[in-house]
Protein backbone atom coordinates (compact mmCIF):
# COMPACT_ATOMS: atom_id res chain seq x y z
CA UNK A 1 0.00 0.00 0.00
CA UNK A 2 1.44 3.36 -0.95
CA UNK A 3 1.56 6.57 0.98
CA UNK A 4 -1.79 7.67 2.36
CA UNK A 5 -2.06 11.45 2.02
CA UNK A 6 -5.77 12.05 1.93
CA UNK A 7 -7.19 13.98 4.82
CA UNK A 8 -10.85 13.54 5.58
CA UNK A 9 -12.92 16.34 7.00
CA UNK A 10 -16.57 16.64 7.91
CA UNK A 11 -16.48 20.27 6.81
CA UNK A 12 -17.96 20.02 3.32
CA UNK A 13 -17.14 23.63 2.49
CA UNK A 14 -13.43 23.02 2.90
CA UNK A 15 -12.59 19.58 1.57
CA UNK A 16 -15.67 18.18 -0.14
CA UNK A 17 -15.08 14.94 1.73
CA UNK A 18 -16.75 11.61 1.18
CA UNK A 19 -19.81 10.81 3.23
CA UNK A 20 -19.50 8.71 6.37
CA UNK A 21 -21.04 5.77 4.53
CA UNK A 22 -18.54 6.13 1.67
CA UNK A 23 -15.66 6.27 4.12
CA UNK A 24 -16.89 3.12 5.89
CA UNK A 25 -17.27 1.40 2.54
CA UNK A 26 -13.67 2.33 1.73
CA UNK A 27 -12.47 0.92 5.04
CA UNK A 28 -14.40 -2.33 4.60
CA UNK A 29 -13.01 -2.75 1.08
CA UNK A 30 -9.51 -2.55 2.56
CA UNK A 31 -10.33 -5.14 5.19
CA UNK A 32 -10.28 -2.60 8.02
CA UNK A 33 -11.90 -3.90 11.19
CA UNK A 34 -10.84 -1.23 13.69
CA UNK A 35 -9.81 2.40 14.10
CA UNK A 36 -7.00 3.63 16.33
CA UNK A 37 -7.26 6.98 18.08
CA UNK A 38 -4.94 8.84 20.42
CA UNK A 39 -5.13 11.79 22.80
CA UNK A 40 -2.08 13.61 24.17
CA UNK A 41 -2.02 14.15 27.94
CA UNK A 42 -0.27 17.01 29.73
CA UNK A 43 3.03 15.10 29.80
CA UNK A 44 2.95 14.66 26.03
CA UNK A 45 2.17 10.94 26.31
CA UNK A 46 -0.33 9.71 23.73
CA UNK A 47 -3.09 7.71 25.40
CA UNK A 48 -5.44 5.86 23.08
CA UNK A 49 -7.47 2.84 22.10
CA UNK A 50 -8.84 0.81 19.22
CA UNK A 51 -12.53 1.16 18.42
CA UNK A 52 -14.75 -0.85 16.13
CA UNK A 53 -16.08 0.57 12.88
CA UNK A 54 -19.52 0.79 14.50
CA UNK A 55 -18.11 2.73 17.44
CA UNK A 56 -16.14 4.94 15.07
CA UNK A 57 -19.33 5.95 13.26
CA UNK A 58 -20.83 7.02 16.56
CA UNK A 59 -17.77 9.05 17.47
CA UNK A 60 -18.13 11.08 14.29
CA UNK A 61 -21.61 12.12 15.37
CA UNK A 62 -21.04 12.61 19.08
CA UNK A 63 -18.31 12.63 21.72
CA UNK A 64 -16.73 9.60 23.26
CA UNK A 65 -15.63 9.15 26.85
CA UNK A 66 -12.24 8.51 28.41
CA UNK A 67 -11.65 7.87 32.10
CA UNK A 68 -10.48 11.19 33.50
CA UNK A 69 -7.75 9.44 35.49
CA UNK A 70 -5.54 10.54 32.56
CA UNK A 71 -5.67 13.96 34.24
CA UNK A 72 -5.13 12.48 37.67
CA UNK A 73 -1.93 10.50 37.29
CA UNK A 74 1.69 10.99 36.33
CA UNK A 75 3.80 9.37 33.60
CA UNK A 76 4.04 6.25 35.76
CA UNK A 77 0.25 6.04 36.20
CA UNK A 78 0.64 7.03 39.86
CA UNK A 79 -2.28 9.07 41.16
CA UNK A 80 -1.55 12.61 42.29
CA UNK A 81 -1.98 13.06 46.03
CA UNK A 82 -3.34 16.56 45.46
CA UNK A 83 -5.47 17.36 42.45
CA UNK A 84 -8.23 19.87 42.21
CA UNK A 85 -9.55 18.33 39.02
CA UNK A 86 -10.01 14.62 39.67
CA UNK A 87 -9.20 11.92 42.19
CA UNK A 88 -10.77 9.27 44.36
CA UNK A 89 -13.17 11.94 45.60
CA UNK A 90 -14.74 12.26 42.14
CA UNK A 91 -15.02 8.56 41.36
CA UNK A 92 -13.05 9.09 38.14
CA UNK A 93 -15.91 9.73 35.71
CA UNK A 94 -15.48 9.87 31.95
CA UNK A 95 -14.23 13.03 30.37
CA UNK A 96 -15.33 13.77 26.83
CA UNK A 97 -13.25 13.60 23.70
CA UNK A 98 -13.87 14.22 20.04
CA UNK A 99 -12.14 12.92 16.94
CA UNK A 100 -10.42 15.53 14.79
CA UNK A 101 -11.68 14.27 11.44
CA UNK A 102 -9.04 15.89 9.22
CA UNK A 103 -6.14 14.23 11.08
CA UNK A 104 -6.68 10.83 9.43
CA UNK A 105 -3.50 8.82 8.86
CA UNK A 106 -2.87 5.28 7.67
CA UNK A 107 -0.89 2.77 9.73
CA UNK A 108 0.23 0.47 6.95
CA UNK A 109 1.69 -2.19 9.23
CA UNK A 110 -1.65 -2.49 11.05
CA UNK A 111 -3.96 -1.88 8.06
CA UNK A 112 -5.66 0.61 10.28
CA UNK A 113 -6.61 4.32 10.14
CA UNK A 114 -5.35 6.55 12.96
CA UNK A 115 -7.04 9.72 14.19
CA UNK A 116 -5.93 12.39 16.59
CA UNK A 117 -8.53 13.16 19.22
CA UNK A 118 -8.77 16.00 21.70
CA UNK A 119 -10.45 16.32 25.06
CA UNK A 120 -13.72 18.24 25.20
CA UNK A 121 -16.47 19.17 27.64
CA UNK A 122 -19.70 19.05 25.68
CA UNK A 123 -19.63 21.98 23.29
CA UNK A 124 -16.83 23.63 25.23
CA UNK A 125 -13.08 23.21 25.03
CA UNK A 126 -11.59 21.09 27.78
CA UNK A 127 -9.64 23.36 30.17
CA UNK A 128 -6.78 20.85 30.58
CA UNK A 129 -6.38 19.72 26.97
CA UNK A 130 -2.86 20.58 25.71
CA UNK A 131 -3.91 20.64 22.06
CA UNK A 132 -6.74 23.02 22.81
CA UNK A 133 -4.43 25.32 24.74
CA UNK A 134 -2.27 25.72 21.63
CA UNK A 135 -5.31 26.05 19.36
CA UNK A 136 -6.63 28.96 21.40
CA UNK A 137 -3.27 30.76 21.33
CA UNK A 138 -3.12 30.39 17.55
CA UNK A 139 -6.64 31.80 17.30
CA UNK A 140 -5.35 34.96 18.99
CA UNK A 141 -2.78 35.27 16.20
CA UNK A 142 -5.53 34.89 13.61
CA UNK A 143 -7.47 37.72 15.27
CA UNK A 144 -4.44 39.93 14.57
CA UNK A 145 -4.23 38.73 10.97
CA UNK A 146 -1.22 36.52 11.67
CA UNK A 147 -0.30 32.85 11.34
CA UNK A 148 2.52 30.77 12.82
CA UNK A 149 4.66 28.39 10.78
CA UNK A 150 6.75 26.04 12.90
CA UNK A 151 8.71 22.83 12.96
CA UNK A 152 10.29 20.66 15.64
CA UNK A 153 13.81 19.27 15.69
CA UNK A 154 14.36 16.29 17.99
CA UNK A 155 17.50 14.73 19.41
CA UNK A 156 17.08 11.17 20.63
CA UNK A 157 19.15 8.06 21.31
CA UNK A 158 18.76 4.52 20.00
CA UNK A 159 19.73 1.34 21.85
CA UNK A 160 19.91 -2.37 21.10
CA UNK A 161 17.58 -3.04 23.99
CA UNK A 162 13.99 -3.95 24.74
CA UNK A 163 11.55 -2.72 27.41
CA UNK A 164 12.36 -5.91 29.33
CA UNK A 165 16.14 -5.83 28.94
CA UNK A 166 16.56 -2.25 30.15
CA UNK A 167 14.57 -3.06 33.27
CA UNK A 168 16.60 -6.20 33.86
CA UNK A 169 19.74 -4.06 33.62
CA UNK A 170 18.37 -1.36 35.92
CA UNK A 171 18.83 1.14 33.09
CA UNK A 172 22.61 0.71 33.37
CA UNK A 173 25.08 -0.67 30.88
CA UNK A 174 22.70 -0.24 27.97
CA UNK A 175 24.08 -1.06 24.53
CA UNK A 176 23.72 1.79 22.05
CA UNK A 177 23.12 1.01 18.38
CA UNK A 178 26.48 2.62 17.56
CA UNK A 179 29.43 3.45 19.86
CA UNK A 180 31.31 6.68 20.50
CA UNK A 181 30.95 10.32 19.52
CA UNK A 182 30.40 10.48 15.78
CA UNK A 183 28.34 13.54 14.85
CA UNK A 184 27.21 13.90 11.24
CA UNK A 185 28.77 10.53 10.46
CA UNK A 186 28.27 9.27 6.92
CA UNK A 187 29.83 5.98 7.99
CA UNK A 188 27.26 5.36 10.72
CA UNK A 189 24.25 6.37 8.61
CA UNK A 190 25.46 4.20 5.74
CA UNK A 191 26.07 1.10 7.85
CA UNK A 192 22.72 1.58 9.59
CA UNK A 193 20.96 2.76 6.42
CA UNK A 194 18.12 0.24 6.87
CA UNK A 195 17.22 1.82 10.20
CA UNK A 196 17.74 5.44 9.18
CA UNK A 197 15.99 5.01 5.85
CA UNK A 198 13.29 2.87 7.40
CA UNK A 199 12.47 5.50 10.00
CA UNK A 200 12.30 8.24 7.35
CA UNK A 201 9.95 6.11 5.25
CA UNK A 202 7.82 5.17 8.24
CA UNK A 203 7.51 8.81 9.32
CA UNK A 204 6.50 9.76 5.79
CA UNK A 205 3.88 7.00 5.68
CA UNK A 206 2.09 8.57 8.67
CA UNK A 207 2.39 12.09 7.23
CA UNK A 208 5.16 13.15 9.61
CA UNK A 209 7.76 13.95 6.96
CA UNK A 210 11.35 14.45 8.06
CA UNK A 211 13.41 17.13 6.33
CA UNK A 212 16.60 15.51 7.55
CA UNK A 213 18.04 12.94 9.94
CA UNK A 214 21.67 12.51 11.02
CA UNK A 215 23.98 11.22 13.73
CA UNK A 216 24.49 13.50 16.70
CA UNK A 217 27.38 13.52 19.16
CA UNK A 218 27.11 10.56 21.50
CA UNK A 219 26.59 6.80 21.27
CA UNK A 220 23.47 6.04 19.28
CA UNK A 221 22.57 9.73 19.20
CA UNK A 222 20.38 10.91 16.31
CA UNK A 223 18.68 14.13 15.32
CA UNK A 224 15.54 14.38 13.18
CA UNK A 225 14.07 17.60 11.80
CA UNK A 226 10.37 17.55 10.94
CA UNK A 227 9.00 19.53 8.01
CA UNK A 228 7.58 22.88 9.05
CA UNK A 229 3.81 23.38 8.94
CA UNK A 230 1.28 26.13 9.62
CA UNK A 231 -0.81 26.10 12.78
CA UNK A 232 -1.61 23.02 14.84
CA UNK A 233 -0.25 20.58 12.29
CA UNK A 234 3.39 21.03 13.36
CA UNK A 235 2.67 20.06 16.97
CA UNK A 236 0.40 17.21 15.82
CA UNK A 237 3.26 15.78 13.77
CA UNK A 238 5.78 16.24 16.58
CA UNK A 239 3.60 14.38 19.08
CA UNK A 240 3.01 11.56 16.61
CA UNK A 241 6.66 11.34 15.63
CA UNK A 242 7.89 10.95 19.21
CA UNK A 243 5.54 8.01 19.81
CA UNK A 244 5.69 6.31 16.43
CA UNK A 245 9.47 6.63 16.10
CA UNK A 246 9.63 4.52 19.25
CA UNK A 247 7.04 2.14 17.76
CA UNK A 248 9.13 1.71 14.62
CA UNK A 249 12.36 1.16 16.57
CA UNK A 250 10.85 -1.38 18.95
CA UNK A 251 9.52 -3.36 16.01
CA UNK A 252 13.15 -3.52 14.80
CA UNK A 253 14.32 -4.85 18.16
CA UNK A 254 15.61 -1.43 19.20
CA UNK A 255 14.61 1.27 21.67
CA UNK A 256 14.63 5.03 21.42
CA UNK A 257 14.51 7.58 24.22
CA UNK A 258 13.59 11.24 24.13
CA UNK A 259 14.41 11.95 27.76
CA UNK A 260 16.37 15.16 28.19
CA UNK A 261 19.54 13.47 29.45
CA UNK A 262 20.05 9.74 29.81
CA UNK A 263 23.78 9.96 30.69
CA UNK A 264 25.86 12.70 32.31
CA UNK A 265 28.75 11.68 30.05
CA UNK A 266 27.12 13.11 26.93
CA UNK A 267 25.19 16.21 25.85
CA UNK A 268 21.48 16.24 26.51
CA UNK A 269 18.66 15.90 24.00
CA UNK A 270 16.87 19.02 22.82
CA UNK A 271 13.46 19.44 21.26
CA UNK A 272 14.22 22.68 19.44
CA UNK A 273 11.29 24.71 18.12
CA UNK A 274 11.73 26.67 14.88
CA UNK A 275 9.05 29.18 13.96
CA UNK A 276 8.14 32.31 12.06
CA UNK A 277 5.12 34.60 11.97
CA UNK A 278 3.40 35.47 8.70
CA UNK A 279 0.36 37.46 7.61
CA UNK A 280 -2.72 35.72 6.25
CA UNK A 281 -1.23 35.81 2.75
CA UNK A 282 1.80 33.88 3.99
CA UNK A 283 4.27 36.78 3.88
CA UNK A 284 6.97 36.29 6.53
CA UNK A 285 6.71 39.14 9.05
CA UNK A 286 10.06 38.28 10.62
CA UNK A 287 11.92 39.40 7.50
CA UNK A 288 12.91 42.96 6.66
CA UNK A 289 14.94 43.36 3.47
CA UNK A 290 16.18 46.76 4.69
CA UNK A 291 17.94 45.23 7.70
CA UNK A 292 21.47 43.82 7.10
CA UNK A 293 20.51 40.52 8.81
CA UNK A 294 16.90 40.61 7.67
CA UNK A 295 15.57 41.18 11.21
CA UNK A 296 12.23 43.01 11.25
CA UNK A 297 10.84 45.04 14.13
CA UNK A 298 8.27 42.29 14.70
CA UNK A 299 11.02 39.68 15.00
CA UNK A 300 12.83 41.89 17.55
CA UNK A 301 9.63 42.19 19.57
CA UNK A 302 9.20 38.41 19.37
CA UNK A 303 12.68 37.96 20.84
CA UNK A 304 11.88 40.57 23.50
CA UNK A 305 8.76 38.61 24.47
CA UNK A 306 10.71 35.36 24.70
CA UNK A 307 13.39 36.95 26.87
CA UNK A 308 10.82 38.50 29.16
CA UNK A 309 8.39 35.61 29.54
CA UNK A 310 10.05 32.25 28.81
CA UNK A 311 11.80 32.07 32.22
CA UNK A 312 8.42 32.11 33.96
CA UNK A 313 7.01 29.58 31.48
CA UNK A 314 10.03 27.27 31.62
CA UNK A 315 8.17 24.39 33.32
CA UNK A 316 6.23 23.92 30.06
CA UNK A 317 9.48 23.58 28.09
CA UNK A 318 11.40 21.62 30.74
CA UNK A 319 8.69 19.59 32.52
CA UNK A 320 10.63 16.83 34.31
CA UNK A 321 13.25 16.47 37.01
CA UNK A 322 15.58 15.16 34.34
CA UNK A 323 15.06 18.25 32.15
CA UNK A 324 17.34 20.31 34.36
CA UNK A 325 20.32 17.96 34.05
CA UNK A 326 20.40 19.08 30.42
CA UNK A 327 20.23 22.82 31.15
CA UNK A 328 23.81 23.29 32.35
CA UNK A 329 26.57 25.56 31.08
CA UNK A 330 28.76 24.30 28.27
CA UNK A 331 26.60 21.32 27.36
CA UNK A 332 24.99 22.59 24.14
CA UNK A 333 21.91 23.74 26.03
CA UNK A 334 21.03 27.27 27.14
CA UNK A 335 20.87 28.31 30.77
CA UNK A 336 19.45 31.81 30.36
CA UNK A 337 17.12 33.71 28.03
CA UNK A 338 20.00 34.83 25.84
CA UNK A 339 19.69 35.57 22.14
CA UNK A 340 21.88 36.05 19.14
CA UNK A 341 22.11 35.66 15.39
CA UNK A 342 23.38 32.30 14.18
CA UNK A 343 24.70 31.50 17.65
CA UNK A 344 24.12 28.02 19.10
CA UNK A 345 25.25 28.96 22.61
CA UNK A 346 22.15 31.12 23.16
CA UNK A 347 18.61 30.15 24.09
CA UNK A 348 16.91 32.18 21.36
CA UNK A 349 18.67 31.91 18.01
CA UNK A 350 17.71 34.03 15.02
CA UNK A 351 18.25 32.08 11.81
CA UNK A 352 18.60 34.42 8.80
CA UNK A 353 16.87 32.89 5.81
CA UNK A 354 15.49 35.60 3.60
CA UNK A 355 11.81 36.07 2.96
CA UNK A 356 11.13 32.33 2.83
CA UNK A 357 12.99 31.10 5.90
CA UNK A 358 13.79 33.93 8.32
CA UNK A 359 12.90 32.42 11.68
CA UNK A 360 13.64 31.94 15.38
CA UNK A 361 14.90 28.74 16.94
CA UNK A 362 13.98 28.28 20.59
CA UNK A 363 16.76 26.05 21.88
CA UNK A 364 15.57 25.91 25.48
CA UNK A 365 12.96 23.15 25.19
CA UNK A 366 14.04 19.56 25.68
CA UNK A 367 13.06 16.48 23.70
CA UNK A 368 11.06 15.38 26.76
CA UNK A 369 8.58 18.26 26.58
CA UNK A 370 5.00 18.09 25.31
CA UNK A 371 5.16 19.69 21.82
CA UNK A 372 1.72 21.29 22.19
CA UNK A 373 2.80 23.03 25.36
CA UNK A 374 6.20 24.04 23.96
CA UNK A 375 4.48 25.67 21.01
CA UNK A 376 1.80 27.23 23.23
CA UNK A 377 4.35 28.72 25.64
CA UNK A 378 6.60 30.08 22.90
CA UNK A 379 3.69 31.49 20.89
CA UNK A 380 2.14 33.09 23.98
CA UNK A 381 5.42 34.78 24.90
CA UNK A 382 5.97 35.97 21.33
CA UNK A 383 2.45 37.36 21.01
CA UNK A 384 2.81 39.28 24.24
CA UNK A 385 6.16 40.62 23.06
CA UNK A 386 4.54 41.84 19.84
CA UNK A 387 1.60 43.38 21.69
CA UNK A 388 3.89 45.20 24.13
CA UNK A 389 6.53 46.05 21.50
CA UNK A 390 9.22 44.64 23.80
CA UNK A 391 12.81 45.27 22.78
CA UNK A 392 15.41 42.59 23.54
CA UNK A 393 18.79 43.10 25.12
CA UNK A 394 21.83 43.42 22.88
CA UNK A 395 22.49 40.17 21.00
CA UNK A 396 25.16 37.86 22.32
CA UNK A 397 28.25 37.51 20.19
CA UNK A 398 30.59 34.69 21.06
CA UNK A 399 30.13 32.40 24.06
CA UNK A 400 26.81 33.08 25.79
CA UNK A 401 27.78 30.99 28.82
CA UNK A 402 30.49 33.51 29.68
CA UNK A 403 28.18 36.51 29.33
CA UNK A 404 24.79 35.40 30.56
CA UNK A 405 25.36 36.28 34.23
CA UNK A 406 25.19 39.96 33.25
CA UNK A 407 21.56 39.56 32.22
CA UNK A 408 18.85 40.78 34.59
CA UNK A 409 17.72 38.25 37.19
CA UNK A 410 14.29 37.86 35.56
CA UNK A 411 15.96 36.56 32.38
CA UNK A 412 17.83 33.79 34.20
CA UNK A 413 16.22 30.38 33.88
CA UNK A 414 15.08 28.47 36.97
CA UNK A 415 17.62 25.81 37.91
CA UNK A 416 15.23 23.01 38.84
CA UNK A 417 11.64 21.87 38.35
CA UNK A 418 10.40 23.16 41.70
CA UNK A 419 11.65 26.68 40.98
CA UNK A 420 10.15 26.53 37.50
CA UNK A 421 6.77 25.33 38.79
CA UNK A 422 6.66 28.09 41.41
CA UNK A 423 7.42 30.75 38.79
CA UNK A 424 4.73 29.34 36.52
CA UNK A 425 2.21 29.45 39.37
CA UNK A 426 2.67 33.20 39.70
CA UNK A 427 2.79 33.93 35.96
CA UNK A 428 0.06 36.31 34.88
CA UNK A 429 0.82 35.47 31.26
CA UNK A 430 0.27 31.75 31.88
CA UNK A 431 -3.06 32.33 33.60
CA UNK A 432 -4.25 34.72 30.89
CA UNK A 433 -3.02 32.54 28.02
CA UNK A 434 -3.80 29.02 29.22
CA UNK A 435 -6.45 29.64 31.86
CA UNK A 436 -6.28 29.38 35.64
CA UNK A 437 -7.52 25.74 35.73
CA UNK A 438 -4.80 24.51 33.39
CA UNK A 439 -2.04 26.55 35.03
CA UNK A 440 -2.98 25.38 38.52
CA UNK A 441 -3.29 21.74 37.44
CA UNK A 442 0.01 21.74 35.57
CA UNK A 443 1.83 23.37 38.49
CA UNK A 444 0.40 20.81 40.92
CA UNK A 445 1.44 17.97 38.63
CA UNK A 446 5.03 19.31 38.52
CA UNK A 447 5.17 19.71 42.29
CA UNK A 448 3.98 16.11 42.59
CA UNK A 449 6.84 15.11 40.30
CA UNK A 450 9.25 16.92 42.62
CA UNK A 451 7.79 15.19 45.68
CA UNK A 452 8.08 11.77 44.01
CA UNK A 453 11.75 12.43 43.30
CA UNK A 454 12.48 13.76 46.77
CA UNK A 455 11.02 10.72 48.54
CA UNK A 456 13.29 8.33 46.62
CA UNK A 457 16.85 7.33 47.46
CA UNK A 458 19.19 7.26 44.47
CA UNK A 459 22.49 5.48 43.89
CA UNK A 460 24.48 8.73 43.94
CA UNK A 461 23.46 9.36 47.54
CA UNK A 462 24.34 5.82 48.60
CA UNK A 463 27.70 5.85 46.85
CA UNK A 464 28.57 9.27 48.28
CA UNK A 465 27.43 8.95 51.88
CA UNK A 466 26.91 5.29 52.89
CA UNK A 467 30.39 4.55 54.19
CA UNK A 468 32.16 7.84 54.78
CA UNK A 469 29.57 9.90 56.65
Residue 450: predicted pLDDT: 96
Residue 22: predicted pLDDT: 85
> Measured between alpha carbons, how far is 136 from 265 in angstroms, rounded to an integer?
40
Mean pLDDT of the chain: 92
Judged by phi (left if over 0) then psi (alpha if -120 to 50, else beta), residue 3 lies in beta
C-alpha distances (whole Å) from 9 to each of 34, 41, 264, 337 are: 19, 24, 46, 41
∠ CA 319-323-329, rounded to 5°: 135
Query: Residue 203: inside a domain, yes or no?
Result: yes
Same domain, 157 and 235: yes
Residue 1: predicted pLDDT: 28
Same domain, 159 and 107: no
Same domain, 266 and 295: yes
- Domain residue limits at 52: 12-126
Q: Is the dihedral of CA 75, 326, 413, 429 positive or negative?
A: negative
Total domain count, the chain: 2
Same domain, 63 and 158: no
Query: Residue 418: inside a domain, yes or no?
Result: yes
- What residues in the chain have per-residue pLDDT under 70? 1-18
Same domain, 101 and 246: no
CB count within 10 Å of CB 197 equals 12
> Measured between alpha carbons, how far is 164 from 343 in angstroms, rounded to an integer?
41
Residue 263: predicted pLDDT: 92
Residue 467: predicted pLDDT: 80
Query: Residue 461: inside a domain, yes or no?
Result: no
Amino acid sequence: MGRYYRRWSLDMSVHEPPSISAKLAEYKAKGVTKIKLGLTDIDGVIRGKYVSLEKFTGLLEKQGGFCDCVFGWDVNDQLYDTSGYTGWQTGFPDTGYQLVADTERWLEDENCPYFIAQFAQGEDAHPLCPRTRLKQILEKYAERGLTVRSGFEYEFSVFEESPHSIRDKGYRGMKSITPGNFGYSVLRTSVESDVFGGLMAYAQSIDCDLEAIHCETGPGAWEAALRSEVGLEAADRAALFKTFAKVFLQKQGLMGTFMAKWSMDYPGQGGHFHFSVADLQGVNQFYDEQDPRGVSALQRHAVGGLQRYLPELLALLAPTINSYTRLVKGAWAPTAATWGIENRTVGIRIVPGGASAQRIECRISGADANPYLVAAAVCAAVLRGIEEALEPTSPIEGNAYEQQDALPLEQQLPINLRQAAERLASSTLAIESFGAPFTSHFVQSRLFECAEYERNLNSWQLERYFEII
